[in-house]
Amino acid sequence: METIRQFLTNLIYLPEVKYALDAVFKMALAVLFSGVIGYEREHSHRPAGFRTHILVAVGSALVMMTSGYVFNEYAGLGTFDPTRLGAQVISGIGFLGAGTILREGFSVKGLTTAASLWAVSCIGLAVGAGYYTGALVSTIVIYLTLNTFKRFVIRGNPSKNIYIEAENMTKQAADVGAIIKRYGGNLHTLEILYADSNQSKRKSDSVVMKAVVFPRDEEGLNLTISAIRSLEGIRDLYID
């Protein structure tokens, strides 16, 4: 048994095995940390969700690990800045973030999701560089920011997300806004989530709108929901 234990100990400390275990550990952490942020975005029905955030973090971690590998592998053969590749990730992630902003339809939306993608890429870089404490603390702070600050209230009432599947975006969007105002609510944002049926079983000629509403009170919210449901062309509605 002692011989086997010694053999396994020596095996773990072999350079190739050590690097492999280090890579697996860092990738697992990148998936874990970014998955927490991505799950929150997925749960909020954002265009960049669970898988997207994980891919960004894993790619960023790989870039930073590659930088360290190249720096060690070619040490003394020339000048090489191990942070150069990471800097390209920080600037390049803006293109992906811009896509989430343009995806939002009516107004300039998606800035929070774009920021979360950028932040997750930085988490991946931190994990790849071995700065685990910073990555963990950042993950906690980012998650609390996304999950807590959006619950802040206007006029003392919490916001409600109303998801509406409708036939005609232009007509029903105007009617929805008028109904919310009629019953004393405040329409914070109205955006398009899906315009086709590729991501669900919805009919191809339907559109899903997300209305973030600050209702006057519970009775006003119930009246608003009932009135929206009774509109012609409304196929489905649910709130969270």
184: left (phi over 0), alpha (psi -120 to 50) or beta: left
Interval 135-180: pLDDT, tens = 999 999 888 888 776 655 444 557 788 888 888 777 778 888 888 8
* Separation of alpha carbons 187 and 175, rounded Å: 12
- Whether the pLDDT of residue 200 is over 50: the answer is no
What is the average per-residue pLDDT within 103-118?
67
**Whether residue 173 sits in one domain with residue 98:** no
**Whether residue 175 sits in one domain with residue 136:** no
Q: How many residues does the chain have?
A: 240
* Residue at a domain's end among 151, 177, 207: 151
- Count how many domains the chain has: 2
* Residue at a domain's end among 120, 151, 182: 151
**Whether residue 170 sits in one domain with residue 132:** no
Q: Global pTM? A: 0.56
CATH number at residue 164: 3.30.70.260
Mean pLDDT estimate for the chain:
76
> Is residue 68 a contact partner of residue 128, using CB atoms and an 8 Å limit?
yes
* Residue at a domain's end among 111, 134, 151: 151
Domain extent at residue 12: 2-151
